[in-house]
Structure 1
Protein backbone atom coordinates (compact mmCIF):
# COMPACT_ATOMS: atom_id res chain seq x y z
CA UNK A 1 0.00 0.00 0.00
CA UNK A 2 1.46 3.35 -1.09
CA UNK A 3 1.84 5.84 1.74
CA UNK A 4 0.35 9.26 1.01
CA UNK A 5 2.91 12.03 0.70
CA UNK A 6 2.54 14.79 3.32
CA UNK A 7 1.04 18.04 2.07
CA UNK A 8 3.72 20.71 1.66
CA UNK A 9 1.36 23.44 0.38
CA UNK A 10 0.07 25.63 3.26
CA UNK A 11 -2.91 26.69 1.10
CA UNK A 12 -4.24 23.12 0.88
CA UNK A 13 -6.00 21.06 3.59
CA UNK A 14 -3.77 18.86 5.71
CA UNK A 15 -0.71 21.12 5.88
CA UNK A 16 0.85 20.40 9.34
CA UNK A 17 1.99 23.96 10.20
CA UNK A 18 4.91 22.61 12.23
CA UNK A 19 7.38 25.31 11.17
CA UNK A 20 8.26 28.30 13.33
CA UNK A 21 7.13 30.83 10.72
CA UNK A 22 5.27 30.43 7.42
CA UNK A 23 3.85 33.26 5.30
CA UNK A 24 1.91 33.67 2.08
CA UNK A 25 -1.15 35.06 0.35
CA UNK A 26 -4.37 33.14 -0.18
CA UNK A 27 -6.05 34.18 -3.48
CA UNK A 28 -9.61 32.89 -3.13
CA UNK A 29 -11.90 33.36 -6.14
CA UNK A 30 -15.50 32.17 -6.30
CA UNK A 31 -15.69 28.50 -7.40
CA UNK A 32 -11.89 28.39 -7.65
CA UNK A 33 -9.54 25.74 -6.31
CA UNK A 34 -9.14 27.53 -2.96
CA UNK A 35 -12.81 28.43 -2.50
CA UNK A 36 -13.45 26.15 0.46
CA UNK A 37 -14.20 26.72 4.13
CA UNK A 38 -11.41 26.69 6.74
CA UNK A 39 -12.71 24.71 9.71
CA UNK A 40 -10.22 23.79 12.42
CA UNK A 41 -12.19 23.20 15.64
CA UNK A 42 -9.00 22.65 17.65
CA UNK A 43 -7.02 25.48 16.05
CA UNK A 44 -3.26 25.27 15.50
CA UNK A 45 -0.15 25.14 17.69
CA UNK A 46 0.75 28.70 16.84
CA UNK A 47 -0.74 32.07 15.89
CA UNK A 48 -2.03 33.31 12.53
CA UNK A 49 -2.27 37.00 11.68
CA UNK A 50 -3.77 38.14 8.38
CA UNK A 51 -4.81 41.25 6.47
CA UNK A 52 -7.45 41.40 3.74
CA UNK A 53 -6.09 42.99 0.57
CA UNK A 54 -9.19 42.65 -1.64
CA UNK A 55 -12.72 41.25 -1.58
CA UNK A 56 -14.24 40.03 1.64
CA UNK A 57 -14.22 37.15 4.09
CA UNK A 58 -16.77 35.80 6.55
CA UNK A 59 -15.76 34.66 10.04
CA UNK A 60 -17.91 32.55 12.41
CA UNK A 61 -20.90 32.46 10.01
CA UNK A 62 -24.45 31.94 11.32
CA UNK A 63 -23.43 32.66 14.90
CA UNK A 64 -23.77 35.66 17.19
CA UNK A 65 -20.05 36.31 16.57
CA UNK A 66 -20.35 36.51 12.77
CA UNK A 67 -17.93 39.06 11.33
CA UNK A 68 -17.21 40.38 7.84
CA UNK A 69 -13.65 41.42 6.94
CA UNK A 70 -12.87 43.59 3.91
CA UNK A 71 -9.85 45.45 2.54
CA UNK A 72 -7.53 46.64 5.33
CA UNK A 73 -9.20 44.59 8.06
CA UNK A 74 -6.91 42.41 10.16
CA UNK A 75 -7.44 39.26 12.20
CA UNK A 76 -5.25 37.44 14.73
CA UNK A 77 -6.03 33.84 15.70
CA UNK A 78 -4.20 32.59 18.82
CA UNK A 79 -2.97 29.10 19.59
CA UNK A 80 -5.84 26.62 19.94
CA UNK A 81 -8.56 29.07 18.84
CA UNK A 82 -11.29 27.81 16.51
CA UNK A 83 -10.77 28.53 12.80
CA UNK A 84 -14.08 29.07 11.04
CA UNK A 85 -13.86 31.35 8.01
CA UNK A 86 -14.00 31.57 4.22
CA UNK A 87 -14.93 33.83 1.32
CA UNK A 88 -17.98 35.99 2.00
CA UNK A 89 -20.78 34.88 -0.39
CA UNK A 90 -21.48 38.53 -1.30
CA UNK A 91 -17.92 38.96 -2.63
CA UNK A 92 -16.46 37.41 -5.77
CA UNK A 93 -13.04 36.98 -4.14
CA UNK A 94 -11.13 37.15 -0.90
CA UNK A 95 -7.40 37.79 -1.06
CA UNK A 96 -5.66 37.88 2.29
CA UNK A 97 -1.99 37.88 3.32
CA UNK A 98 -1.12 35.82 6.37
CA UNK A 99 1.71 34.77 8.67
CA UNK A 100 1.71 31.66 10.86
CA UNK A 101 4.18 32.01 13.74
CA UNK A 102 5.26 30.88 17.18
CA UNK A 103 5.43 34.09 19.26
CA UNK A 104 8.43 35.26 21.19
CA UNK A 105 7.88 35.53 24.94
CA UNK A 106 8.10 39.33 24.82
CA UNK A 107 5.21 39.63 22.32
CA UNK A 108 2.26 38.39 24.35
CA UNK A 109 0.88 41.80 25.33
CA UNK A 110 0.83 42.82 21.65
CA UNK A 111 -1.15 39.70 20.69
CA UNK A 112 -4.12 40.45 22.95
CA UNK A 113 -6.31 42.79 20.86
CA UNK A 114 -9.25 44.57 22.46
CA UNK A 115 -11.90 43.58 19.88
CA UNK A 116 -12.24 39.79 20.22
CA UNK A 117 -14.80 37.13 19.29
CA UNK A 118 -14.22 33.54 20.44
CA UNK A 119 -10.61 34.52 21.28
CA UNK A 120 -10.00 35.77 17.73
CA UNK A 121 -8.86 39.41 17.58
CA UNK A 122 -10.03 41.94 14.98
CA UNK A 123 -8.59 45.30 13.97
CA UNK A 124 -9.91 47.76 11.36
CA UNK A 125 -7.32 50.48 10.60
CA UNK A 126 -9.57 51.89 7.83
CA UNK A 127 -12.15 52.86 10.46
CA UNK A 128 -9.47 55.01 12.07
CA UNK A 129 -8.66 56.58 8.69
CA UNK A 130 -5.17 55.06 8.84
CA UNK A 131 -4.75 54.35 5.11
CA UNK A 132 -1.03 55.09 5.25
CA UNK A 133 -0.54 52.62 8.07
CA UNK A 134 -2.55 49.97 6.21
CA UNK A 135 -0.18 50.36 3.27
CA UNK A 136 2.86 50.08 5.54
CA UNK A 137 1.51 46.94 7.23
CA UNK A 138 0.65 45.38 3.86
CA UNK A 139 4.21 46.03 2.64
CA UNK A 140 5.59 44.38 5.80
CA UNK A 141 3.44 41.30 5.11
CA UNK A 142 4.86 41.16 1.58
CA UNK A 143 8.41 41.56 2.89
CA UNK A 144 7.90 38.66 5.32
CA UNK A 145 6.59 36.47 2.49
CA UNK A 146 9.62 37.30 0.34
CA UNK A 147 12.16 37.01 3.15
CA UNK A 148 11.04 33.69 4.63
CA UNK A 149 11.39 32.00 1.22
CA UNK A 150 15.01 33.07 0.79
CA UNK A 151 17.79 30.52 1.29
CA UNK A 152 19.50 32.54 3.99
CA UNK A 153 20.62 31.36 7.42
CA UNK A 154 19.03 34.46 8.94
CA UNK A 155 15.89 34.72 6.79
CA UNK A 156 13.65 33.52 9.60
CA UNK A 157 15.16 35.98 12.08
CA UNK A 158 14.62 38.80 9.58
CA UNK A 159 11.03 37.64 9.06
CA UNK A 160 10.40 37.64 12.81
CA UNK A 161 11.83 41.15 13.02
CA UNK A 162 9.41 42.33 10.30
CA UNK A 163 6.53 40.58 12.07
CA UNK A 164 7.44 42.35 15.31
CA UNK A 165 7.08 45.66 13.45
CA UNK A 166 3.56 44.64 12.37
CA UNK A 167 2.57 43.71 15.92
CA UNK A 168 3.90 47.00 17.31
CA UNK A 169 1.97 48.99 14.69
CA UNK A 170 -1.18 47.02 15.50
CA UNK A 171 -0.65 47.77 19.17
CA UNK A 172 -0.51 51.49 18.31
CA UNK A 173 -3.76 51.16 16.32
CA UNK A 174 -5.46 49.34 19.19
CA UNK A 175 -5.59 52.64 21.09
CA UNK A 176 -8.64 51.68 23.17
CA UNK A 177 -6.42 49.26 25.07
CA UNK A 178 -4.41 51.11 27.73
CA UNK A 179 -0.66 50.64 27.70
CA UNK A 180 0.64 48.81 30.74
CA UNK A 181 4.29 49.70 31.37
CA UNK A 182 6.56 46.91 32.53
CA UNK A 183 7.57 47.24 36.17
CA UNK A 184 11.32 48.07 36.36
CA UNK A 185 11.77 45.28 38.91
CA UNK A 186 10.45 42.74 36.38
CA UNK A 187 12.69 44.23 33.68
CA UNK A 188 15.66 43.86 36.03
CA UNK A 189 14.81 40.20 36.60
CA UNK A 190 14.43 39.59 32.84
CA UNK A 191 17.84 41.13 32.19
CA UNK A 192 19.32 38.92 34.91
CA UNK A 193 17.77 35.86 33.26
CA UNK A 194 19.31 36.79 29.88
CA UNK A 195 22.73 37.29 31.46
CA UNK A 196 22.52 33.93 33.26
CA UNK A 197 20.50 31.87 30.78
CA UNK A 198 22.72 28.78 31.21
CA UNK A 199 22.31 28.68 34.99
CA UNK A 200 19.65 26.95 37.03
CA UNK A 201 17.69 29.96 38.25
CA UNK A 202 15.38 29.66 41.24
CA UNK A 203 12.33 31.79 41.90
CA UNK A 204 13.90 32.80 45.20
CA UNK A 205 17.04 34.14 43.48
CA UNK A 206 15.04 36.05 40.87
CA UNK A 207 12.73 37.47 43.54
CA UNK A 208 15.81 38.75 45.40
CA UNK A 209 17.08 40.40 42.20
CA UNK A 210 13.70 42.11 41.92
CA UNK A 211 13.68 42.96 45.66
CA UNK A 212 10.31 41.27 46.16
CA UNK A 213 8.87 38.28 47.95
CA UNK A 214 8.66 35.04 45.93
CA UNK A 215 4.85 35.04 45.81
CA UNK A 216 4.60 38.72 44.86
CA UNK A 217 7.31 38.35 42.19
CA UNK A 218 5.67 35.29 40.61
CA UNK A 219 2.26 36.97 40.60
CA UNK A 220 3.51 40.24 39.11
CA UNK A 221 5.66 38.47 36.50
CA UNK A 222 2.69 36.39 35.29
CA UNK A 223 0.48 39.48 35.23
CA UNK A 224 2.94 41.52 33.16
CA UNK A 225 4.28 38.81 30.84
CA UNK A 226 1.17 36.62 30.52
CA UNK A 227 3.30 33.54 31.17
CA UNK A 228 4.88 32.04 34.28
CA UNK A 229 8.51 32.72 35.16
CA UNK A 230 9.49 29.13 34.32
CA UNK A 231 7.73 29.24 30.95
CA UNK A 232 9.34 32.58 30.10
CA UNK A 233 12.81 31.20 30.86
CA UNK A 234 12.09 28.15 28.71
CA UNK A 235 10.85 30.37 25.87
CA UNK A 236 14.08 32.41 26.01
CA UNK A 237 16.22 29.27 25.94
CA UNK A 238 14.31 27.83 22.98
CA UNK A 239 14.57 31.13 21.10
CA UNK A 240 18.35 31.16 21.66
CA UNK A 241 18.57 27.46 20.74
CA UNK A 242 16.93 28.20 17.39
CA UNK A 243 19.46 30.94 16.66
CA UNK A 244 22.40 28.68 17.58
CA UNK A 245 21.08 25.81 15.45
CA UNK A 246 20.65 28.13 12.45
CA UNK A 247 23.80 30.22 12.70
CA UNK A 248 26.42 27.82 14.16
CA UNK A 249 27.71 24.30 13.62
CA UNK A 250 27.62 23.43 17.32
CA UNK A 251 26.61 19.83 18.01
CA UNK A 252 23.18 19.32 19.59
CA UNK A 253 24.73 18.38 22.94
CA UNK A 254 26.92 21.53 22.82
CA UNK A 255 23.84 23.69 22.21
CA UNK A 256 22.12 21.97 25.13
CA UNK A 257 25.08 22.63 27.45
CA UNK A 258 25.37 26.25 26.30
CA UNK A 259 21.76 26.76 27.40
CA UNK A 260 22.16 24.97 30.72
CA UNK A 261 20.64 21.60 29.78
CA UNK A 262 22.96 18.89 31.10
CA UNK A 263 20.93 16.15 29.37
CA UNK A 264 20.83 16.54 25.57
CA UNK A 265 17.89 14.13 25.30
CA UNK A 266 15.85 16.22 27.73
CA UNK A 267 16.76 19.36 25.74
CA UNK A 268 15.56 17.64 22.55
CA UNK A 269 12.25 16.72 24.20
CA UNK A 270 11.70 20.31 25.42
CA UNK A 271 12.63 21.70 21.98
CA UNK A 272 10.23 19.33 20.20
CA UNK A 273 7.44 20.11 22.65
CA UNK A 274 7.76 23.80 21.79
CA UNK A 275 8.43 23.65 18.04
CA UNK A 276 6.99 20.32 16.92
CA UNK A 277 10.32 18.94 15.66
CA UNK A 278 13.62 17.86 17.16
CA UNK A 279 16.69 20.13 17.13
CA UNK A 280 18.23 17.94 14.39
CA UNK A 281 15.08 18.09 12.24
CA UNK A 282 14.85 21.84 12.77
CA UNK A 283 18.47 22.40 11.70
CA UNK A 284 18.02 20.23 8.60
CA UNK A 285 14.80 22.05 7.61
CA UNK A 286 16.53 25.43 7.93
CA UNK A 287 19.48 24.36 5.80
Structure 2
Protein backbone atom coordinates (compact mmCIF):
# COMPACT_ATOMS: atom_id res chain seq x y z
CA UNK A 1 0.00 0.00 0.00
CA UNK A 2 1.38 3.41 -1.00
CA UNK A 3 -0.12 6.83 -0.24
CA UNK A 4 1.29 10.11 -1.56
CA UNK A 5 2.04 12.76 1.05
CA UNK A 6 -0.66 15.38 0.60
CA UNK A 7 1.79 18.29 0.04
CA UNK A 8 3.34 16.28 -2.81
CA UNK A 9 -0.14 15.53 -4.18
CA UNK A 10 -0.93 19.25 -4.26
CA UNK A 11 2.38 19.97 -6.01
CA UNK A 12 1.91 17.17 -8.58
CA UNK A 13 -1.57 18.39 -9.52
CA UNK A 14 0.01 21.68 -10.59
CA UNK A 15 2.48 20.02 -12.97
CA UNK A 16 1.68 19.73 -16.71
CA UNK A 17 1.61 15.92 -16.97
CA UNK A 18 0.36 14.78 -13.59
CA UNK A 19 -2.36 17.43 -13.50
CA UNK A 20 -4.27 15.30 -16.03
CA UNK A 21 -4.07 12.05 -14.08
CA UNK A 22 -2.42 11.26 -10.78
CA UNK A 23 -2.47 8.14 -8.61
CA UNK A 24 -2.73 9.28 -5.00
CA UNK A 25 -3.15 5.89 -3.27
CA UNK A 26 -2.58 2.34 -4.49
CA UNK A 27 -2.43 -1.11 -2.96
CA UNK A 28 -2.75 -4.88 -3.19
CA UNK A 29 -4.70 -6.82 -0.55
CA UNK A 30 -4.52 -10.62 -1.01
CA UNK A 31 -7.32 -12.72 0.48
CA UNK A 32 -8.40 -9.66 2.46
CA UNK A 33 -10.53 -11.18 5.22
CA UNK A 34 -12.47 -8.59 7.26
CA UNK A 35 -11.40 -5.82 4.87
CA UNK A 36 -13.83 -2.96 4.39
CA UNK A 37 -14.21 0.82 4.15
CA UNK A 38 -17.08 3.17 4.91
CA UNK A 39 -17.00 6.78 3.73
CA UNK A 40 -20.19 8.72 4.35
CA UNK A 41 -19.02 11.65 2.21
CA UNK A 42 -17.13 9.61 -0.36
CA UNK A 43 -13.47 10.04 -1.29
CA UNK A 44 -11.90 13.11 -2.92
CA UNK A 45 -10.58 10.86 -5.69
CA UNK A 46 -12.18 8.28 -7.97
CA UNK A 47 -11.69 4.76 -6.61
CA UNK A 48 -10.96 1.79 -8.86
CA UNK A 49 -10.88 -1.71 -7.34
CA UNK A 50 -10.03 -4.78 -9.42
CA UNK A 51 -11.06 -8.09 -7.90
CA UNK A 52 -8.80 -10.97 -8.98
CA UNK A 53 -10.21 -13.58 -6.59
CA UNK A 54 -12.98 -14.12 -4.07
CA UNK A 55 -15.98 -11.82 -3.67
CA UNK A 56 -17.11 -8.60 -2.06
CA UNK A 57 -19.97 -6.11 -2.04
CA UNK A 58 -20.32 -2.36 -2.37
CA UNK A 59 -23.20 -0.28 -1.03
CA UNK A 60 -23.95 2.95 -2.86
CA UNK A 61 -26.95 5.29 -2.97
CA UNK A 62 -28.18 3.15 -5.89
CA UNK A 63 -28.17 -0.05 -3.83
CA UNK A 64 -25.94 -3.03 -3.07
CA UNK A 65 -23.66 -4.32 -5.83
CA UNK A 66 -21.86 -7.67 -5.84
CA UNK A 67 -18.23 -7.78 -6.96
CA UNK A 68 -16.65 -11.01 -8.21
CA UNK A 69 -13.31 -12.17 -9.56
CA UNK A 70 -12.61 -10.67 -12.98
CA UNK A 71 -14.60 -7.53 -12.28
CA UNK A 72 -13.77 -3.92 -11.50
CA UNK A 73 -15.58 -1.62 -9.09
CA UNK A 74 -15.49 2.08 -9.97
CA UNK A 75 -16.71 4.62 -7.40
CA UNK A 76 -16.89 8.25 -8.56
CA UNK A 77 -15.32 10.91 -6.36
CA UNK A 78 -17.61 12.34 -3.71
CA UNK A 79 -19.99 9.36 -3.70
CA UNK A 80 -20.92 7.95 -0.30
CA UNK A 81 -20.04 4.27 -0.18
CA UNK A 82 -19.32 1.21 1.87
CA UNK A 83 -17.50 -1.84 0.54
CA UNK A 84 -16.28 -5.01 2.18
CA UNK A 85 -14.93 -8.47 1.49
CA UNK A 86 -17.24 -11.48 1.57
CA UNK A 87 -17.02 -13.30 4.89
CA UNK A 88 -16.81 -16.80 3.40
CA UNK A 89 -14.78 -16.01 0.27
CA UNK A 90 -12.90 -12.74 0.89
CA UNK A 91 -11.70 -10.91 -2.17
CA UNK A 92 -8.18 -10.37 -3.44
CA UNK A 93 -8.03 -6.83 -4.76
CA UNK A 94 -5.79 -4.35 -6.52
CA UNK A 95 -6.96 -0.81 -5.94
CA UNK A 96 -6.09 2.80 -6.58
CA UNK A 97 -7.38 6.29 -5.93
CA UNK A 98 -6.92 8.52 -8.96
CA UNK A 99 -7.58 12.19 -9.66
CA UNK A 100 -6.83 14.83 -12.29
CA UNK A 101 -8.57 16.79 -15.01
CA UNK A 102 -8.79 13.84 -17.43
CA UNK A 103 -10.13 11.28 -14.96
CA UNK A 104 -13.85 12.18 -15.00
CA UNK A 105 -13.94 11.71 -18.77
CA UNK A 106 -12.13 8.36 -18.50
CA UNK A 107 -14.63 7.23 -15.87
CA UNK A 108 -17.47 8.34 -18.13
CA UNK A 109 -15.94 6.27 -20.94
CA UNK A 110 -16.23 3.24 -18.70
CA UNK A 111 -19.95 4.08 -18.27
CA UNK A 112 -19.30 3.58 -14.58
CA UNK A 113 -21.30 5.47 -12.01
CA UNK A 114 -23.43 5.00 -8.97
CA UNK A 115 -26.03 3.12 -11.02
CA UNK A 116 -23.58 0.75 -12.71
CA UNK A 117 -20.30 0.67 -10.77
CA UNK A 118 -19.31 -2.94 -11.52
CA UNK A 119 -17.69 -3.84 -14.85
CA UNK A 120 -16.71 -7.31 -16.00
CA UNK A 121 -13.20 -7.11 -17.50
CA UNK A 122 -12.26 -8.42 -20.92
CA UNK A 123 -8.63 -9.16 -19.91
CA UNK A 124 -8.18 -9.13 -16.10
CA UNK A 125 -4.49 -10.25 -16.05
CA UNK A 126 -3.53 -7.33 -18.26
CA UNK A 127 -5.25 -4.86 -15.95
CA UNK A 128 -3.64 -6.45 -12.88
CA UNK A 129 -0.21 -6.16 -14.54
CA UNK A 130 -0.74 -2.41 -14.92
CA UNK A 131 -1.68 -2.12 -11.24
CA UNK A 132 1.53 -3.99 -10.41
CA UNK A 133 3.46 -1.44 -12.48
CA UNK A 134 1.86 1.44 -10.58
CA UNK A 135 2.75 -0.11 -7.22
CA UNK A 136 6.36 -0.83 -8.25
CA UNK A 137 6.91 2.72 -9.47
CA UNK A 138 5.40 4.28 -6.36
CA UNK A 139 7.41 1.94 -4.14
CA UNK A 140 10.58 3.02 -5.95
CA UNK A 141 10.47 6.67 -4.85
CA UNK A 142 8.31 9.78 -4.94
CA UNK A 143 10.08 11.63 -7.74
CA UNK A 144 8.15 13.19 -10.59
CA UNK A 145 9.48 10.52 -12.96
CA UNK A 146 7.91 7.79 -10.82
CA UNK A 147 4.63 9.70 -10.53
CA UNK A 148 4.54 10.19 -14.32
CA UNK A 149 5.23 6.48 -14.91
CA UNK A 150 2.46 5.53 -12.46
CA UNK A 151 0.12 8.02 -14.13
CA UNK A 152 0.83 6.49 -17.54
CA UNK A 153 0.04 2.99 -16.29
CA UNK A 154 -3.13 4.25 -14.60
CA UNK A 155 -4.29 5.94 -17.81
CA UNK A 156 -3.62 2.70 -19.70
CA UNK A 157 -5.57 0.67 -17.13
CA UNK A 158 -8.57 2.99 -17.16
CA UNK A 159 -8.58 3.15 -20.94
CA UNK A 160 -8.49 -0.65 -21.21
CA UNK A 161 -11.28 -1.05 -18.67
CA UNK A 162 -13.36 1.37 -20.72
CA UNK A 163 -12.50 -0.20 -24.07
CA UNK A 164 -12.98 -3.80 -22.96
CA UNK A 165 -15.89 -3.35 -20.59
CA UNK A 166 -18.45 -6.13 -20.60
CA UNK A 167 -21.87 -6.71 -19.08
CA UNK A 168 -21.98 -6.17 -15.32
CA UNK A 169 -22.85 -9.82 -14.73
CA UNK A 170 -21.16 -12.91 -16.20
CA UNK A 171 -24.66 -14.33 -16.66
CA UNK A 172 -25.79 -11.39 -18.80
CA UNK A 173 -24.84 -11.16 -22.47
CA UNK A 174 -23.94 -7.80 -24.01
CA UNK A 175 -26.05 -7.73 -27.21
CA UNK A 176 -23.79 -5.28 -29.03
CA UNK A 177 -20.64 -7.25 -28.15
CA UNK A 178 -22.21 -10.40 -29.60
CA UNK A 179 -22.73 -8.66 -32.94
CA UNK A 180 -19.28 -7.07 -32.88
CA UNK A 181 -17.69 -10.49 -32.46
CA UNK A 182 -19.83 -11.81 -35.32
CA UNK A 183 -18.75 -8.97 -37.60
CA UNK A 184 -15.07 -9.49 -36.77
CA UNK A 185 -15.40 -13.20 -37.58
CA UNK A 186 -17.23 -12.57 -40.86
CA UNK A 187 -15.45 -9.58 -42.33
CA UNK A 188 -15.99 -10.55 -45.97
CA UNK A 189 -19.78 -10.76 -45.56
CA UNK A 190 -22.03 -7.72 -45.72
CA UNK A 191 -24.50 -8.08 -42.86
CA UNK A 192 -27.46 -5.73 -42.67
CA UNK A 193 -28.57 -3.72 -39.67
CA UNK A 194 -31.89 -5.63 -39.46
CA UNK A 195 -29.98 -8.93 -39.35
CA UNK A 196 -27.71 -7.68 -36.57
CA UNK A 197 -30.62 -6.19 -34.64
CA UNK A 198 -32.42 -9.54 -34.84
CA UNK A 199 -29.27 -11.28 -33.60
CA UNK A 200 -29.16 -8.87 -30.64
CA UNK A 201 -32.93 -9.26 -30.10
CA UNK A 202 -33.46 -5.51 -30.27
CA UNK A 203 -35.41 -3.17 -32.51
CA UNK A 204 -33.42 -1.71 -35.38
CA UNK A 205 -33.51 1.82 -33.98
CA UNK A 206 -32.53 0.74 -30.45
CA UNK A 207 -29.73 -1.49 -31.73
CA UNK A 208 -28.37 1.20 -34.07
CA UNK A 209 -28.34 3.75 -31.23
CA UNK A 210 -26.59 1.35 -28.83
CA UNK A 211 -24.07 0.39 -31.51
CA UNK A 212 -23.17 4.00 -32.31
CA UNK A 213 -22.83 4.85 -28.61
CA UNK A 214 -20.58 1.85 -28.02
CA UNK A 215 -18.40 2.06 -31.15
CA UNK A 216 -18.50 5.72 -32.09
CA UNK A 217 -19.91 5.32 -35.60
CA UNK A 218 -22.59 3.39 -37.46
CA UNK A 219 -22.77 -0.29 -38.37
CA UNK A 220 -21.94 0.10 -42.07
CA UNK A 221 -18.97 2.35 -41.39
CA UNK A 222 -17.70 -0.10 -38.79
CA UNK A 223 -17.89 -2.94 -41.31
CA UNK A 224 -16.07 -0.84 -43.90
CA UNK A 225 -13.32 0.03 -41.43
CA UNK A 226 -12.91 -3.64 -40.48
CA UNK A 227 -12.55 -4.57 -44.14
CA UNK A 228 -10.10 -1.78 -44.85
CA UNK A 229 -7.98 -2.72 -41.84
CA UNK A 230 -7.46 -6.20 -43.29
CA UNK A 231 -6.93 -4.73 -46.76
CA UNK A 232 -4.16 -2.45 -45.44
CA UNK A 233 -2.46 -5.40 -43.76
CA UNK A 234 -2.55 -7.41 -47.00
CA UNK A 235 -1.26 -4.46 -49.01
CA UNK A 236 1.58 -4.00 -46.50
CA UNK A 237 2.61 -7.63 -46.14
CA UNK A 238 1.85 -9.37 -49.46
CA UNK A 239 2.30 -8.86 -53.20
CA UNK A 240 -1.17 -10.13 -54.00
CA UNK A 241 -3.09 -8.30 -56.75
CA UNK A 242 -5.53 -5.69 -55.56
CA UNK A 243 -8.37 -7.60 -57.22
CA UNK A 244 -7.58 -10.61 -55.01
CA UNK A 245 -7.38 -8.47 -51.85
CA UNK A 246 -10.69 -6.80 -52.70
CA UNK A 247 -12.37 -10.19 -53.04
CA UNK A 248 -10.95 -11.46 -49.75
CA UNK A 249 -12.39 -8.51 -47.82
CA UNK A 250 -15.80 -8.83 -49.45
CA UNK A 251 -15.71 -6.55 -52.51
CA UNK A 252 -16.61 -8.35 -55.74
CA UNK A 253 -16.05 -5.13 -57.70
CA UNK A 254 -12.40 -3.98 -57.40
CA UNK A 255 -13.29 -0.49 -58.67
CA UNK A 256 -15.82 -0.05 -55.90
CA UNK A 257 -13.23 -1.33 -53.42
CA UNK A 258 -10.74 1.25 -54.69
CA UNK A 259 -13.30 4.06 -54.35
CA UNK A 260 -14.09 3.03 -50.78
CA UNK A 261 -10.39 2.74 -49.98
CA UNK A 262 -9.68 6.20 -51.38
CA UNK A 263 -12.63 7.66 -49.48
CA UNK A 264 -11.15 6.46 -46.19
CA UNK A 265 -7.43 6.93 -46.88
CA UNK A 266 -7.34 9.79 -49.42
CA UNK A 267 -5.26 7.62 -51.75
CA UNK A 268 -5.75 4.58 -53.95
CA UNK A 269 -4.71 1.06 -52.84
CA UNK A 270 -1.87 1.22 -55.39
CA UNK A 271 -0.58 4.51 -53.99
CA UNK A 272 -0.92 3.18 -50.45
CA UNK A 273 1.18 0.13 -51.28
CA UNK A 274 3.89 2.34 -52.85
CA UNK A 275 4.00 4.71 -49.90
CA UNK A 276 6.92 4.29 -47.45
CA UNK A 277 5.83 3.23 -43.97
CA UNK A 278 7.38 2.01 -40.77
TM-score, with normalisation over the residues of structure 2?
0.49
Structure with greater Cα Rg = 2
TM-score, with normalisation over the residues of structure 1?
0.47
